[in-house]
Amino acid sequence: MKTNLPKDKIIAVANDLVTNYPNQIDDHIKVQKILYFLDLDYKKKNDEPFFSDQFEAWIYGPVSRRIFSIIRENGLVFKTDYELSDDDKKFIKKDVKQYLKYDSFDLVLLSHQSQPWIEARKGFPSGEPCTKKIKL
């Protein structure tokens, strides 16, 4: 599926999350899962993805390979010139609230209940690595 979404938007959102919620979003797992849920919730609401990046169905839930690479290199430091729109900021601020109460592994379990992740993992045993793209 082709989209016209800016490629760095996911990096800007990751930066927004760790900057604005440092006490609640403080590890890579939580960043990855909240990014996934933002994308999923946006898609349900607007019938289009929030990000141009697709998540992969890894063992511990959805992962953006680009965000994973950035975190591996820089920790939770995300640099981009991409400017989030006011509408994007409002959406993030409103939607993220429902996920802040969960710890990282609760979000993993929650992501394992999402239909797109379940579909992408079909045929893969629970402990087997998978890089199949998740279709929202």
- What ranges do the domains of the chain cover? 9-121
Phi-psi region of 44 (alpha: psi -120 to 50; beta: other; left: phi over 0): alpha
| Type of residue found at 45 | K
pLDDT digit string (tens) for the chain, length 136 residues: 344 457 799 999 999 999 999 999 999 999 999 999 999 999 999 999 999 999 999 999 999 999 999 999 999 999 998 999 999 999 999 999 999 999 999 999 999 999 999 999 999 998 999 999 999 9
Whole-number pLDDT of residue 5: 55
Q: What is the pTM of this model?
A: 0.94
Is-contact 134 68, C-beta < 8 A? no
Is-contact 3 49, C-beta < 8 A? yes
| Type of residue found at 85 | S
